[in-house]
Structure 1
Amino acid sequence: MPDDTILITGATGFIAQHTIIAALAAGFRVRTAIRSLGRADEVRAYLAHGGAEPGDRLSFVETDLLKDEGWAEAAQGCAYAIHSASSTPSGHYASEDDWIRPAVDGNVRLLRAARAAGVKRVVLTSAFGAIGAGRASPGRPFTEEDWSDLNGNIAPYQKSKTLAERAAWDFIAREGGAMELATVNPTAVLGPALGPDTSHSLMMLKGMIEGQAGQPRIRSCFVDVRDVADLHLRAMTAAAAAGERFLATAGDALWLVDVARIVTERLGDQARRVSTREVPDADMRAAAETDPRARALLPLLGIDLSASSEKARRLLGWQPRPPADAIEAAARSMIEVGIIKA
């Protein structure tokens, strides 16, 4: 199996870059899809920061989620595909459709090209946003059986991930042929940043360490990006993963004030500006009247977003790092690469 060529899309993304590193370390050749070949050297520099010097075992192809060109070339000769490219909350979008169309149409373009190229299995990077958004807590940890409620109070990003994942499963059911699909649905992804252009998940820590005045009353699960990458490879190759969704989450859900305490304990003086004060919901609602960032957090206030990784552990033998280690790695790396001024 190693020395097979696999396609990994979204080469400028946080999860995709760590997945490329993991795939190269496992012996695969990687073809990676990128919106502009002009960023290929930048991606190679990020990978080198993560310890990967792939030489000719890594190649690039230019694709766009909203265009047909390049997808057939990207998939040709690949044994597997990992599709991580999608709209992200760090982007700038004028309308809800700007989120949804690239996510849904891009999934279908990738799947159609993969099927035509004889790819054995596609692993889709979905999100917890396709599982636990727009709805109240079920009174137990969320599992892969749950789906977000599109009629609830759901943000455009979460809506796009839900519709995109459903479109992928529908494609497989209708016209996937022998090709298999698995999805990985991460909770909040932390772990080591490889450079200054990084994921929206890490921005929560940036505000915290740079001294924001308290933490919203939000409770989330967390996972290290290196373990998310590992789960993608397991879902790609394990027979038991075909046709399955896998929540990527580590440990119990943490309130953001708990995260702040972990940062304070692990980073010492570099965390001197971190506040362990919890911001009352009423203050968040008042701030939301003028601050779009605060407004986006309102649906999450006080909601238990606990999620279970039992399925990935049982079926795939996945063993993620503790959340505190992911939090520390993220914070230290963002200081190192200059994202955070501590």
Structure 2
Amino acid sequence: MASNGKELVLVTGGSGFLGVHCILKCLSANYRVRTTIRTLPREKDVRDMLTAGNATNLEDVTFIEADLAKDDGWNEAVKDCAYVLHVASPFPMSVPKHEDDIIIPARQGTLRVLRAARDAGVRRVVITSSFGAVAYGHEDWDTSKPFTEKDWTNPDGPGVSAYIKSKTVAERAAWDFVEEEGGNLELTVIQPTAIFGPILGPDFSPSVEIVLRLMNGSLPGCPRLSWGIIDVRDAADLHLIAMTHPKAKGERFLCVSPPVMTVKEISLALRERLGAAAKRCPTRDLPNFLLRLIALFDPAVALVTPELDKIKPASNDKARNLLGWEPRSNVDAIVASAESLINFGVIKT
């Protein structure tokens, strides 16, 4: 599994925001990386992002075409790999017509990767799940009590979206698979909250879209929404730590830098840290009825309106205490998003 002393890691979804940062972390730790992309023409985009991330050993990165919805390519993708970081996951840009349109691909894609990894003798798979698999479908939650890895989303609970349900079902399926037919395969699961931090190119998380909309003035006010926040670099770092740490075997880890931030707090932090560059960031609340009106014409907004006025605190004690992981502050993550959006010309100041 090693070539020139370097072990091989498969990173699925290498063109994605978190995926490309995971590749950077692996390269900096002296691993070789194979990464899956849906179509091989995306290789240039990924290499450009890695270059933007100051990777110097691009010869250690190879690409393979594989789609989570198809069997083709996965046996080849995991061949000779010591570890797998399964980061890829379908994310809807609008509310799907039927929840199975996202739930089935998420579950089946995860099982495809796990079967191939088991059959290839991979030591450990680290799956990117989501805070969505932890904190939803709970009525009358005491917001003074943070969610932990012991909690699970109730997929049949009130207000659980198709995406949230897909992450929960896929993670449950992964644990069941490893327990029932995983053989010697080890599993660790990372559950990020909203991912911010520096973009490296045109692919970035839906979370960063919030910063973009605040900075470019397209939001007339601050929606009454809040999230747990994590910097993409710290999320990638936790994946890499969990890949080899003995105490990470068979564990779930919430990936967050508390406390929760409201959109208004995010907007005010951008104004404070970036000054004139953030002059378009709103300072007033946006009434809920107005956001729901916007959602009628904006599918991305429609995805988040069910979360209006809901606060979901989360603890990172387990990752910090068990693995020694220390994320940067949530404000630093937000500011890094804005600065990179400016640097890449996505936001004109």
How does the TM-score come out when normalised to structure 1? 0.96
2:239 is matched with which residue? 232
8 A Cα contact 1:80 1:120, kept in partner: yes
Match of 1:111 in 2: 114
Please name the residue that 2:42 is paired with.
39
Q: 1:309 aligns with which of 302, 305, 316?
A: 316
Residues 95, 303 of structure 2: 8 Å contact kept: no
1:31-88 Cα distance to aligned partner (Å, 9 max, x none): 1111111111110110100011323211111111011111011111111100011111
**Pairwise CA distance, 1:100:** 1.5
- SS of structure 1 residue aligned to 2:75: helix
1:339 Cα deviation from its structure 2 partner: 2.4
Distance (Å, rounded) in 1 between the aligned partners of 2:9 and 2:174: 19
Q: Is residue 196–residue 232 contact of structure 2 (8 Å, CA) maintained in 1?
A: yes
The amino acid of 1:181's aligned partner reads: L
Structure 1 unaligned residues grouped into runs of 5+:
none
Closer, same or farther: CA 92–60 of 1 in aligned 2, 3 Å: farther
Structure 1: how far apart are the matches of 2:48 and 2:255? 27
1:162 alignment counterpart: 168
Say if 1:214 and 1:278, in contact at 8 Å, map to a contact too. yes
Q: For 2:177, what is the secondary structure of its paired residue?
A: helix
Q: In angstroms, what is the RMSD of aligned CA positions? A: 1.7
5+ long unaligned stretches in structure 2: none
From 80, 86, 89, give the equivalent of 2:89: 86
Is the 8 Å Cα contact of residues 196 and 338 (structure 1) preserved in structure 2? Answer: no
Question: Structure 1 residues 293 and 70 mapped into 2: Cα distance closer, same or farther (>3 Å)?
Answer: closer
Q: Determine if the alignment matches structure 1 residue 176 to structure 2 residue 179.
A: no
Change (3 A) 1:313 1:273: same
Which residue identity does 2:103 align to in structure 1?
Answer: I
- Partners of 2:299 and 2:344 lie apart in 1 by 27
Amino acid at match of 2:333: A
Q: Secondary structure at the match of 1:269?
A: helix
Shift of 1:159: 1.3
> Cα offset for 1:217?
1.0
Whether the 8 Å CA contact 1:89–1:200 is kept in 2: the answer is no
- Match runs of 1:14-93 below 5 Å: 14-90=17-93, 93=96
- Residue 115 of structure 1 aligns to a residue whose secondary structure is helix
Deviation, structure 1 residue 197: 2.4
1:283 aligned partner: 290
1:219 is aligned to 2:222: no
Pairing of 1:120-199 with structure 2 (within 5 A): 120-136=123-139, 137-139=141-143, 140-151=145-156, 152-199=158-205
Q: 1:206: which partner in 2?
A: 212
| Shift in Å, 1:299 | 2.0
Structure 2 partner of 1:241: 248
**Gap change, CA 1:293 and 1:66, over 3 Å in 2:** closer
Instruction: Supply the distance in 1 between the matched residues of 2:178 and 2:336 (Cα, whole angstroms).
Output: 37
Q: Are residues 289 and 197 of structure 1, via their aligned partners in 2, closer, same or farther at CA, if it must alter by over 3 Å?
A: closer
- Out of 279, 287, 302, the position equivalent to 1:272 is 279
Moved more, 195-204 or 71-80: 195-204
The aligned residue for residue 266 of structure 2 is 259
How many residues are treated as equivalent by the alignment? 342
Contact 2:222-2:264 at 8 Å conserved across structures: yes
State the TM-score, normalizing by the size of structure 2.
Answer: 0.94
* Secondary structure at the counterpart of residue 162 of structure 1: helix
Q: Would the aligned equivalents of 2:193 and 2:256 in 1 still touch at CA under 8 Å? A: yes
Kept in 1, the 8 Å contact 2:96–2:162? The answer is no
